[in-house]
């Protein structure tokens, strides 16, 4: 079972005694910077010249300097810019400003796990990753609660890197909920697998295949959209609240019976064998290498996939149908 750490296990004064740079002010960056500041930590935000986020951070009372200045001033540097550009930001602005005794922090292990960033031996390398989007992390902190975090140490130069990571997690409210100890390898590989096989890739493919099966059989796309996409939220909410058991308690006995007998015909041993292959390609670095080649090669295939799906009947049907449901998304029009 996982090792869990709470407020009583973490010493806030450790991070209060350091100078923290939060690089990036997006989903995670704003939540970390504001909550650390409110926890009495000396924080500066590092952003490039001309960054769109700068005005927002300053409005919220934070001091913003360039990424290089932030890295030079601070002795704990948390990198919260998008994963594909982290190695460039690191090479250009952070590495030249690292000193022995500094700590390099991450919100996701991708660049360390696959070797795109190779920190020097004299710095601590750790991760504090909230298991939720930044806006939830910040809101929970303000309400006196917290989002569970996972924490890991890749390189323990000081001998105290995990205590520092727990202290940081306490500063953003994570230890109020609970912090689970992991490794960069476990976090990165499971995160990539989950989003590819189940959460994003698996779910999107399942929804599309179901929708296509119904529409190709002559059923109306609007009806197919409700059955294969719209109602998914209800099912997922029930699973989120109480696992498969609560979902099965809530749906009809007919739906529950169909679940038992048909689910395994859809997700078969062949699907699971393919999942294992996907995991292998994550573990051996094939996925990371291909994705970085695609990203830095101009995102050609990425944009082709994006366009193709935006023109799919599922999406064009949904766009119209959601206009009938004012509560679904007020901003979409
Ligand atoms: P976002 O895309 O929300 O943040 C982007 C931020 O980085 C913006 O403030 C952007 O500024 C800034 N930025 C862009 N380029 C640079 C640069 N060259 N130098 C400095 N800052 C730059 O990122 P996320 O918060 O989603 O992700 C950050 C990290 O957190 C990632 O490692 C991610 O895997 C991890 N994570 C994310 C979670 C999430 O829910 N989003 C959950 C857990 C972990 P500008 O406004 O100018 O573009
Ligand atoms: Mg992910
Ligand atoms: Mg039904």
Statement to judge: residues 116 and 255 lie in one domain = no
Q: Which residues contact 178 (CB under 8 A, 6 or more apart)?
A: 4, 5, 6, 148
- Given 182, 201, 231, the domain boundary residue is 182
Enclosing domain of residue 283: 191-324
The residue whose two tokens read 């909550």 is: 35
ipTM of the complex: 0.97
What contacts 203, CB < 8 A, 6 or more positions away?
A: 232
Asked whether residue 136 falls in the same domain as residue 155, the answer is: yes
- Distance in angstroms (rounded) separating the CA atoms of residues 62 and 40: 13
Tell me the CA–centroid distance for residue 5 and ligand 2, in Å: 23
DSSP secondary structure of 193-211 = HIIIIIITHHHHHHHHHHH
Same domain, 101 and 156: yes
Measure CA 171 to chain center: 19
Q: What is the largest CA-CA distance in the chain?
A: 67
Annotated binding site for substrate: 252
- 195 within some domain: yes
Mean pLDDT per 10-residue section of the chain, whose length is 333 residues: 96 98 98 98 97 97 98 98 98 98 98 98 98 97 98 98 98 98 98 98 98 98 98 98 98 98 98 98 98 98 98 98 88 48
Ligand 1, residues 30, 51, 58: which to mutate, most atoms within 8 A of Cβ?
51
Q: Domain tally for the chain?
A: 2
Ligand 1, residue 134: give the atom nearest the CA: 40
* Domain assignment present for 330: no
Q: Whose CA is nearest to atom 16 of ligand 1?
A: 81
Task: Looking at the structure, tell me whether residues 70 and 27 fall in a common domain.
Answer: yes
- For the Cβ of 21 lying below 6 angstroms from any atom of ligand 1, the answer is no
Q: Is 182 in the pocket of ligand 1 (CB under 6 A)?
A: no
Same domain? 127 vs 9? yes
How many angstroms is it from 232 CA to the middle of ligand 3? 10
Q: Would residue 331 count as lying in a domain? A: no
In a shared domain, residues 161 and 202: no
Q: Residue 28: CB within 6 Å of ligand 1?
A: yes
What is the number of the ligand closest to the CA of 28?
A: 1
Q: Choose the final residue of a domain: 182, 207, 237.
A: 182
Q: Are 135 and 282 in the same domain? A: no
Residues 198, 86 within the same domain: no
59 lies in the same domain as 139: yes
Residue 220 alpha carbon to ligand 3 centre in Å: 15
CATH number at residue 109: 3.40.50.720
Residue with tokens 């109602």, as numbered in its chain: 231
Asked whether residue 268 is assigned to any structural domain, the reply reads: yes
Query: Is there a single domain that holds both residue 159 and residue 272?
Result: no
Whether ligand 1 lies within 6 angstroms of the CB of 148 is answered as no
Q: What is the CA radius of gyration of the chain?
A: 22
Strand 103-106's sheet: what is its strand order?
4-5, 179-181, 149-155, 124-130, 103-106, 76-79, 19-23, 42-46, 64-65
Indicate whether 333 belongs to any domain. Answer: no
Whether 218 and 277 map to the same domain: the answer is yes
Q: Which of 120, 154, 182 is the last residue of a domain?
A: 182
Residue 17 within a domain: yes
For the annotated catalytic residues, the residue numbers are 108
Task: Give the integer Cα–Cα distance in Å for 58 and 137.
Answer: 20
Q: Is 332 within the bounds of a domain?
A: no
Tell me the pTM: 0.94
pLDDT value of residue 331: 57
Is the CB of residue 81 below 6 angstroms from any atom belonging to ligand 1? Answer: yes
Ligand 1, atom 44, lies closest to the CA of 107
Judgement on whether residues 49 and 148 belong to the same structural domain of the protein:
yes
- Any idea which residue has 């679904």 for tokens? 328
Asked if residue 129 has its Cβ within 6 Å of ligand 1, the reply is: yes
Number of alpha carbons in the 13 Å side-chain half-sphere of residue 253: 0
Distance between Cα 107 and ligand 2 center (Å): 10
Asked whether residue 329 is assigned to any structural domain, the reply reads: no
């Amino acid at each position: 079972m996982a090792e869990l750490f709470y407020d009583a296990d973490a010493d806030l004064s450790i991070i209060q005694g350091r100078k923290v740079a939060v690089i990036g002010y997006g989903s995670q960056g704003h939540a970390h910077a504001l909550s650390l500041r409110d926890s009495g930590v000396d924080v500066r935000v590092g952003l490039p010249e001309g960054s769109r986020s700068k005005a927002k951070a300053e409005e919220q009372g934070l001091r913003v300097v360039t990424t290089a200045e932030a890295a030079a001033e601070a002795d704990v540097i948390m990198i919260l810019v998008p994963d594909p550009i982290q190695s460039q930001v690191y090479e250009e602005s952070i590495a030249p400003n690292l000193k022995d005794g500094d700590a390099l922090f991450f919100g996701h292990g991708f660049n360390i796990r696959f070797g795109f960033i190779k920190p020097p031996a004299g710095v601590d390398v750790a991760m504090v990753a909230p298991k939720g989007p930044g806006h939830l992390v910040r809101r929970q902190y303000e309400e006196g609660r917290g989002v569970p975090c996972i924490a890991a140490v890749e390189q323990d130069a000081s001998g105290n890197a995990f205590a520092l990571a727990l202290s940081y997690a306490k500063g953003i409210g994570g230890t109020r909920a609970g912090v689970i100890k992991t490794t960069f390898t476990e976090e990165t590989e499971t995160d990539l697998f989950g989003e590819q096989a189940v959460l994003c890739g698996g779910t999107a493919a399942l929804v599309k295949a179901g929708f296509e099966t119904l529409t190709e059989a002559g059923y109306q796309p609007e009806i197919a959209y409700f059955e294969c996409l719209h109602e998914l939220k209800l099912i997922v909410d029930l699973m989120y609240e109480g696992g498969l058991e609560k979902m099965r308690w809530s749906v009809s006995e007919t739906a529950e019976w169909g679940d038992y007998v048909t689910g395994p015909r859809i997700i078969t041993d062949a699907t699971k064998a393919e999942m294992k292959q996907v995991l292998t390609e994550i573990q051996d670095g094939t996925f990371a290498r291909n994705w970085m080649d695609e990203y830095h090669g101009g995102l050609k295939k990425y944009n082709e996939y994006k366009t193709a799906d935006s023109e799919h009947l599922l999406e064009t049907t949904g766009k119209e149908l959601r206009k009938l449901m004012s509560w679904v998304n007020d901003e979409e029009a």
